[in-house]
Amino acid sequence: MKFSKTILIILVCCFAIKLSMAQKIKVAQGTSISTAAIKQGEAFNFMAGGDAYLIEKHFKDAEMHFYLTCVTPNLGVNFNNYLNIPGGVFGNTYGIDDVFALGDKAYVTVEHLDKKAGMNSLTIRSLGFDGNIATEETPAMNITFEKIMNSGFNHASVSPDKSLLAIVGETPFVKEQPAKFKIAMFDKTLKKTSEAEISMPGENTKNKDMKVLVANDGTVYLIKKTTTNKGETALTIYQCSTSNATDVKEYKIEMPAPNNVSSYTFTMNTNNEIIVSGTYYERRTLTVGDPKAMGIFYFTNTGKSTPTFKMSTLDTPVENLKARKIIVNGNTVFLATEQYKENRETPQPGAPAFEYNYNYEHKNEYVIGMDAAGTKKFQLQLARDLTARNFDTHLYSGYYLCNGKLTVVYNDNTKKYILNDTYFGMQLPVLVQITNDGLMQAPVVIKDESKLESGFMLFANSGMQVSENTIIMLAGNTREMKPVSFVVE
């Protein structure tokens, strides 16, 4: 019996070594260029014209700013700076509202607020790979208003196949009236194909956060986040279409007390169904320490008509667990989560208004695998413990699908892998792959001949997957950056 156990252990070890040896990462690096350090930025990206548009947006001085790095397939940089248009004057302002790819071209939406005319107008302009924003524009949405502080909101969403653009205009808030949205659909040539005005069930709420998704078949989803009178998050999903403005389906995500949503994220699957998933916690009268996630929840509108909702407990409660991304891979839905905490420092006397300093904690990551109905299959942990002050973009992980496997790229403590290091500094990049069955392969540490330039950190969440096995990301410091590519073999 001991002999058979020994053979089993040897076979398992050999299998693990084989997996580790079989996985290779080729790293290529472009030329360094100057860059700007962005505080509290949010990364997103897309492909257009064969180039990777890597964008970081952040809100400052009462408007949204977009910093674009446009990278070519051979790791050249076409543009690396803020996107700008003339801003107008007080009471007659222009601003970039969104950036996206439609078809094989890049565009921006520009919002024009004209106080005298009482008009909120949204137009679409093309965006060149050199960062140039055209002056020619396509009208997309008009919203009339009486007060500029209640002038409505515009939302843009592109279908996953990049063939459809939905522009959703949220009309000004009217007390004790339903929320009204104007929807305009465009094809990839910017031809308007349909439009409608839709009223949502129930009475509108003033303080809410709206997100918009459009599916490949033209179904529009609106995800509304509000707050209950007890301060808890409430989520409602609306499903509608310009082909039938009166057919609005409403799905409310509700949990049995004392459970409440603590974080969430969303995506769509290949059946044009929406998926909303995240973490939940138990509301208690007395709590000690930081809030702990007790489990995860999963919602989808099966067949675009039947709500499917499931809750699953975690193996053990986890403090400060935040939902990061949903990745659908065939019959498996991955929910990537992270232990994350943000602490804002109390401003010192005389400090500029609204200029705050922040301390960040990025700890263990948990990947939960579910089937298409939301049943939990497995839970995996990626151990790490990192901190940063003010700038923590480099501590967010990137999640991709390479060669049919979930691929997590992140920075980790150098001392876990190299003793007495004098080259990398505090962190170095690591790549981990996970199969649909929950098999996590040995981490690939990016060092030796594949290492980045000394002093450069990888920005894993800035990346864009450009092929089945290739990811383009940025690496840099507070002064310089360069594009890098990872090829997973």
pLDDT, one tens digit for every residue, the chain (489 residues): 444 443 334 434 444 444 444 478 999 999 999 987 787 889 999 999 999 999 999 988 778 899 999 999 999 999 999 999 999 999 999 999 999 999 999 999 999 999 999 999 999 999 999 999 999 999 999 999 999 999 999 999 999 999 999 999 999 999 989 999 999 999 999 999 999 999 999 889 888 999 999 999 999 999 999 998 888 999 999 999 999 999 999 999 999 999 999 999 999 999 999 999 999 999 876 666 788 999 999 999 999 999 999 999 999 999 999 999 999 999 999 999 999 999 999 887 777 666 788 999 999 999 999 999 999 999 999 999 999 999 999 999 999 999 999 999 999 999 999 988 878 888 999 999 999 999 999 999 999 878 898 889 999 999 999 999 999 999 998 789 999 999 998
DSSP state of 149: G
Q: What pLDDT does residue 283 have? A: 87
Element (H, E) at 47: strand 42-48
How many other CB atoms are there within 10 angstroms of residue 312's CB atom?
A: 18
Task: Give the burial class of 184: count Cβ atoms within 10 A of its Cβ; 0-12 exposed, 13-18 middle, 19 or more buried.
Answer: buried
Say if residues 184 and 167 touch (Cβ distance below 8 Å). Answer: yes
Measure the CA–CA gap between 261 and 19, rounded to whole angstroms.
Answer: 38
How many other CB atoms are there within 10 angstroms of residue 407's CB atom?
A: 24
Q: What pLDDT does residue 2 have? A: 42
Measure the CA–CA gap between 92 and 113, rounded to whole angstroms.
Answer: 6
Q: What pLDDT does residue 348 have? A: 78
Q: What pLDDT does residue 19 have? A: 42
Q: What pLDDT does residue 61 have? A: 77
Q: What pLDDT does residue 359 have? A: 95
Question: Cα separations (Å) of 142 from 55, 111, 429?
Answer: 27, 10, 46
Q: What pLDDT does residue 350 have? A: 73
Measure the CA–CA gap between 60 and 111, rounded to whole angstroms.
Answer: 17
Say if residues 458 and 475 touch (Cβ distance below 8 Å). Answer: yes
Q: What pLDDT does residue 38 have? A: 82
The residues, any chain, with a CB within 8 Å of residue 237's CB and separated by 6 or more, are 221, 222, 223, 224, 250, 251, 252, 253, 274, 276, 299, 301
Q: What pLDDT does residue 49 have? A: 94
Instruction: Give the Cα-Cα-Cα angle 66, 166, 276 (nearest 5 degrees).
Output: 85
